[in-house]
Structure 1
Amino acid sequence: MRILIIHQYLWSHYKGKIYSELQKIVNTHKNDELLVLQTSLNEITRANLGPVDRSIHQYNYQVLVDDYYENIPNTTRARKMLYWVRKFKPDVVNVSGYYEPAMNMVIFYCRMVGIKVIISVDSTEEDKPNIWWKETIKRFVVNRAQGFFCYGSKASEYMLKFGAKPEQILLENNAVDNEKIASIYQEAYPNRDNEKQKFALRPYNFIYTGRLMAIKNVKNLVIAFSKVKNKDWGLIILGDGAEGENLRNYVADNQIEGVKFIEGQAWYNVPKFMAIGDVFVLPSYSEPWGLVVNEAMVCGMPVVVSNKCGSSHDLVKNGENGYTFNPYDTEELAQILLKFVNEPQKINSFGDVSKEVIKKYSPGQVAQEMYSGFKKVLYEHK
């Protein structure tokens, strides 16, 4: 079985771990071969989050263009992807998404020459406003595939709406490098008090980590936090982005105490900052999944996640390891934050549940489900 995966950019450390685990599985089958095409090195919006760490990518891969993804014309992407499809001669191809012209060219070509296609899907119906003609195009593209790797139950629901059959849903999972993140967190935790003193933090802290963009809805998190009014609790905002200055000005203008801004960090430093937080919050208006929720749960943290994030439907057990909320309702979010302020003993008990829930969302498990999916599509859809 010859497997070809086409992905957008090499920077994705979490995908690197999954593909490395998949390579291990492939290596145990002498007639199997894996090749991953990484279209680019990175995307512009993540350029300040650290360089590509090639040591993570322990699998057979080719980088098509040494540039940012946004700088590569669709014609160049399509030409290079199709060159490798013809050169590698795969039995099954896994493409990332169904919304980019170059990826769609690959889908149509493979359909024409009889190569099986699996589409990786991180979109959900609630991601963006659904325009009828765009939905029609999506339906047409989706129905060219024989299988789907979905990042969560909401993504699979979206594919079923487009006409995918239940047996074509081959994966409902998404993972980060659990072992690495847990190791970094555990190494940093003993120095927690010193780091909190260094950043002049309060005894307890809610924490957001991610880009500071309008869609991330961090302002509503700040507004909700301002309603808490408890001197023992602070809010850490870890990240950079276009909304950074506006958020700082809003905090200053409204004299909101206890908010600490910290510049964005490379992925491998984020667990160190999780170690000085107590409750993780992701308030996004839209998030196909939100892998940072996985990271927080690996670190044993309670998670408060917007119900517009795909991961909220699979990872958050309301009242057990966290809560979901309407991202437009700051009062609802404030009341959830107060649950931890009023009962700080929830932090440890909820965190323990988080660590238990996240165990099955591991790179090894995702890789095994992917491999089984490739076999199913190839051998059961002759």
Structure 2
Amino acid sequence: MGITCYWALLLSALLFGVSRVGFYESPANTRTYNSRVIDWMRSRFFRFMDIVVVPGHAAAETVRAMGVQPSRIMQGFNAVDVSEFHRASSLAALQNCSVNSNFGHRYLYVGQLIHRKRVDAIIAAFTQIATPYDELTILGSGSLRGELESMASLSNARISFLEYAENSTVPAIMSSYHTLVLASEREVWGLVVNEALASGMHVVVTENCGVLPSVRGMRGIYAVDENLIDLAKQMTASRRSWNGRILQPEILRHTPERFAGVFDSAFILSLREKKFGRAQTGERDEL
């Protein structure tokens, strides 16, 4: 039913000469449906768009692989309210000196406790590299909670679980930790990475996450192989290089307002090209 509605809208737009702007965010490794028919329909649909907006490098690569011309792709940056996260976490950090102490490194996981997130691998890696003063906190709920708690109880490392937190309290929680760890088997993006970076944390994140190509090169990022063979190594590297919260993280440039501006530009360009004809502009840079 959903697919039929999309194609009906596209057909109507084509018949009446209406400008068409599409949005696509899924890297290739996160697709649920990959049959030849679905792949063909997906690629044809987006090739009929005047402009396709994507939230990062991984999605842009996927759209190009569909056959969409680079000149028709406008790339933004998937966003959360990084300014508010930065403000709230900075304020909380001033009241909490533990994050800057020398008593141990504090790791944090935030998310669902399900197989795809591979929290068991985080626990195993932490157990392998933890000093007596290091801590790992698992914040989240899900079907694997009991199994993960049992696994943690067999470890000599300091591992604790928090089941629930209001969204408004997450910046303050993050201000008390040094490194976020996201070891997912696949993620369309991973907005918790934006939140952690905005809070001044380091982030250990797998190659499988759509966010990584867009944040690679930012201070505090430690990339992990998709098979997690270097997870413990990168967690150790983050601990060794910790020198306090990152006070002005690069992620602060990537606000929701800036991402909204990409859509505004896409609509304007689509209407302009509909009126005056498509300009041969080449591939557009990230806005």
TM bin, normalised by shorter chain, reads 0.7 to 0.9
The residue aligned with 2:171 is 271
The residue aligned with 2:225 is 326
**AA at the equivalent of 1:307:** E
The residue aligned with 2:113 is 212
1-structure distance, mates of 2:191, 2:83? 15
Instruction: Note the C-alpha offset of 1:144.
Output: 2.4
SS of the residue corresponding to residue 22 of structure 2 reads strand
Name which of 135, 145, 148 aligns with 2:39. 135
Query: What CA RMSD, in Å, does the superposition of the two structures yield over aligned residues?
Result: 2.4
SS of the residue corresponding to residue 96 of structure 2 reads helix
1-structure distance, mates of 2:141, 2:10? 36
**If the length of structure 2 is used for normalisation, what is the TM-score?**
0.86
Could you tell me which runs of 5 or more consecutive residues in structure 2 were left unpaired when the two chains were aligned.
276-287
Higher RCO, Cα 8 Å, sep 6+:
2
User: Relative to structure 1, is the Cα distance of residues 268 and 339 closer, same or farther in structure 2, using a 3 angstrom cutoff?
Assistant: same
The residue aligned with 2:18 is 115
Answer yes or no: is 1:224 the counterpart of 2:125: yes
Q: Which has the higher strand share?
A: 1
The answer to whether the 8 A contact 1:307-1:327 is kept is yes
The answer to whether the 8 A contact 2:120-2:148 is kept is yes
**AA at the equivalent of 1:210:** G
Post-superposition CA distance 1:311-340 (Å, at most 9, x none): 11111327x4221112422x4110111123
The answer to whether the 8 A contact 1:171-1:366 is kept is no
The residue aligned with 1:164 is 68
The answer to whether the 8 A contact 2:93-2:99 is kept is no
Instruction: Note the C-alpha offset of 1:286.
Output: 0.6
SS of the residue corresponding to residue 188 of structure 2 reads coil
**AA at the equivalent of 1:149:** V
The answer to whether the 8 A contact 2:104-2:131 is kept is no
Answer yes or no: is 1:315 the counterpart of 2:218: no
The residue aligned with 1:339 is 237
SS of the residue corresponding to residue 126 of structure 1 reads helix
The residue aligned with 2:279 is none
1-structure distance, mates of 2:85, 2:37? 42
**AA at the equivalent of 1:206:** Y
Could you tell me which runs of 5 or more consecutive residues in structure 1 were left unpaired when the two chains were aligned.
1-73, 79-99, 197-201
For 1:218-257, what aligned pairs fall within 5 Å after superposition?
218-252=119-153, 254-257=154-157
User: Relative to structure 1, is the Cα distance of residues 241 and 224 closer, same or farther in structure 2, using a 3 angstrom cutoff?
Assistant: same
Which deviates more from structure 2 when the two are superposed, residues 262-271 or residues 303-312? 262-271
Instruction: Note the C-alpha offset of 1:243.
Output: 2.0
**AA at the equivalent of 1:111:** L
2-structure distance, mates of 1:114, 1:264? 49
Name which of 340, 360, 369 aligns with 2:253. 360
For 1:25-104, what aligned pairs fall within 5 Å after superposition?
74=1, 100-104=3-7
User: Relative to structure 1, is the Cα distance of residues 194 and 340 closer, same or farther in structure 2, using a 3 angstrom cutoff?
Assistant: closer
